[in-house]
């Protein structure tokens, strides 16, 4: 954690710090356990930092983008447009046109009307665009953080009507159906649930491919692999998961129809989540009605998810460490952010080594859905810096200086308020 502290000190807080060594190690695990059958698609939405994408490029098969902005980020990070797949429920015509024109790998169709639009655009541009149909299964097993299927949904084409949709899309000029995509549940730590979901995918891929009468070239399995965010949660047992999933995929690929299918695990948080920390400085300390309160320079404006406001019903404390005083005597604290609202809470009743003004606290599990999934404009506090660690070297990957106070320069609470450890 010393590297994390030094990195944050060098750019000032708040700062997101990402460790590439951890990311590479996690890719090593994926390759070892799943590489025989699967490539990996990284979901840019989980962390679209361009320097990070540049580092991920050699490790992944494809980049999953969900807006033209993410297409541009992928291209800036050096991705070949043929290695981009574009999903998302509300693609503007201009986005579809821009993506097709730049030589996009596959457009992931979320509906028949979108397919008609894409067909018209491809014809207008005089090209044939490879497409995948996103299917929305009738059922998602329990134990996923968020379900996108099994109910009315903006994502994909409902399994119940996908036969007719496949017939229509197959007949559209300018589009070449080369496979299918399913992403129906995120953030599961349950091996049985994920394995069952993969069986649902396989069954649906088979039926859809039969109906389309194609030998699919690509099948995207929305992994749903989760990470532990809170005390009491354990990491996914990846060995057990591979043992459950791989035989089913071996069997699928042994069928002549699927012999050439390029199977892809699509995911974001499992790869980058545990490799990132949000480092925040303690700006103020007080006691109120018997509770020790520490106010930090980052709150939900910088990390909505850690404050329990992204897809969670009950806010629970994330893993937080005191980087400045790791050996101090433990005490209980209410950790709040800098915003003028009672809901700006990082942790309640959290036990930490004594926390003083100027200390740096690190919120773990923050590599995915951090800065870009947070309302950073609220109350005009400076946006966090972003730093990429690669072995002993460090790259300042900060993209936005929004709200960095022009007259004061970069806010460094530690320097301003003085460390009192």
Ligand X SMILES: Cc1ncc(COP(=O)(O)O)c(C=O)c1O
Nearest CB to ligand X, comparing residues 310 and 415: 310
Nearest CB to ligand X, comparing residues 108 and 388: 108
Distances (CA, A) of 15 to 5, 9, 57, 131, 279: 10, 9, 23, 39, 5
Give the total residue count for the chain: 421
Q: Does 187 bind ligand X (CB under 6 A)?
A: yes
CA dihedral in degrees (96, 146, 46, 253; nearest 10)? -70
One DSSP character per residue, 158-217 reads EGGGHHHHHHHHHHSTTEEEEEEEE--EE-B--HHHHHHHHHHHHHHHHHHHHHHT---S
- Contact set for ligand X, span 55-94 (CB under 6 A): 64, 87
Q: Does 105 bind ligand X (CB under 6 A)?
A: no
Mention every residue, 6+ apart, whose C-beta is less than 8 A from residue 6. Answer: none
Task: Kindly state the smallest distance separating residue 350's Cβ from ligand X, in Å.
Answer: 25
Nearest CB to ligand X, comparing residues 114 and 266: 266
The single residue among 18, 40, 44, 46 that binds ligand X, judged by CB under 6 A, is 46
Q: Are strands 218-222 and 262-267 parallel, antiparallel or unpaired?
A: parallel
Task: Kindly state the smallest distance separating residue 171's Cβ from ligand X, in Å.
Answer: 26
Q: Does 267 bind ligand X (CB under 6 A)?
A: yes
Q: If you ran DSSP here, which 8-state letter would residue 407 be given?
A: T
Q: Does 95 bind ligand X (CB under 6 A)?
A: no
- Contact set for ligand X, span 351-390 (CB under 6 A): 368
The answer to whether residues 191 and 238 touch, using CB atoms and an 8 Å cutoff, is: no
Task: Kindly state the smallest distance separating residue 223's Cβ from ligand X, in Å.
Answer: 6
Q: Does 17 bind ligand X (CB under 6 A)?
A: no
Task: Kindly state the smallest distance separating residue 182's Cβ from ligand X, in Å.
Answer: 9
Task: Kindly state the smallest distance separating residue 219's Cβ from ligand X, in Å.
Answer: 14
What x/- string results for residues 220 through 259 when contact with ligand X is judged by CB under 6 A?
A: --xx------------------------------------
Nearest CB to ligand X, comparing residues 134 and 294: 134
- Contact set for ligand X, span 146-185 (CB under 6 A): 183
Place of tokens 């229509």: 168
> Distance between CA 35 and CA 31 in Å, rounded?
4
Task: Kindly state the smallest distance separating residue 42's Cβ from ligand X, in Å.
Answer: 9
Question: Where are the alpha helices (H) located in 268-399, listed in sequence order?
Answer: 269-272
Q: Which residues bind ligand X (CB under 6 A)?
A: 43, 46, 64, 87, 183, 186-187, 222-223, 266-270, 368
């Amino acid at each position: 954690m010393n590297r994390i502290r030094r990195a944050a000190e060098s750019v000032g807080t708040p700062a997101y710090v990402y460790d590439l060594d951890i990311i590479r190690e996690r890719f090593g695990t994926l390759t070892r356990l799943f590489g025989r059958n699967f490539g990996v698609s990284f979901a840019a939405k989980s962390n679209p930092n361009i320097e990070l994408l540049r580092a991920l490029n050699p490790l992944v098969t494809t980049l999953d983008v969900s807006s033209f902005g993410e297409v541009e980020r992928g291209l800036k990070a050096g991705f070949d447009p043929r290695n981009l797949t574009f999903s998302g429920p509300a693609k503007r015509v201009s986005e579809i046109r821009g993506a097709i024109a730049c030589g996009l790998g596959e457009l992931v169709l979320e509906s028949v009307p979108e397919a008609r639009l894409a067909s018209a655009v491809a014809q207008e541009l005089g090209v044939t665009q490879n497409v995948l149909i996103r299917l929305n299964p009738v059922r998602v097993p329990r134990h996923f953080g968020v379900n996108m299927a099994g109910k009315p949904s903006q994502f994909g084409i409902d399994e119940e009507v996908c036969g007719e949709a496949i017939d229509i899309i197959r007949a559209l000029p300018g589009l070449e159906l080369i496979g299918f995509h399913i992403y129906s549940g995120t953030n599961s730590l349950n091996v049985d649930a994920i394995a069952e979901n993969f069986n649902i995918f396989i069954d649906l891929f088979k039926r859809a491919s039969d109906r389309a009468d194609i030998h699919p070239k690509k099948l995207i399995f929305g992994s749903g692999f989760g990470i532990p965010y809170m005390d009491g949660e354990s990491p996914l047992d990846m060995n057990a998961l591979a043992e459950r999933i791989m035989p089913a995929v071996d069997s699928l690929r042994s069928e002549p129809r699927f012999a050439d299918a390029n199977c892809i695990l699509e995911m974001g948080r499992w790869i980058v989540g545990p490799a990132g920390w949000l480092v925040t400085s303690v700006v103020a300390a007080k006691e109120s009605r018997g509770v020790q309160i520490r106010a930090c320079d980052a709150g939900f404006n910088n990390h909505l998810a850690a404050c329990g406001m992204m897809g969670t019903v009950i806010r629970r404390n994330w893993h937080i460490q005191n980087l400045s005083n790791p050996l101090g005597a433990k005490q209980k604290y209410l950790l709040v952010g800098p915003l003028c609202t009672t809901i700006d809470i990082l942790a309640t009743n959290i036990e930490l080594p004594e926390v003083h003004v100027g200390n740096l606290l690190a919120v773990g599990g923050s590599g995915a859905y951090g800065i870009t999934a947070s309302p950073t404009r609220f109350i005009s506090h400076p946006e966090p810096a972003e730093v990429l660690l690669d072995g002993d070297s460090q790259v300042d990957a900060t993209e936005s200086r929004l709200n960095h106070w022009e007259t004061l320069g970069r806010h460094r609470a530690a320097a301003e308020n003085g460390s009192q450890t």
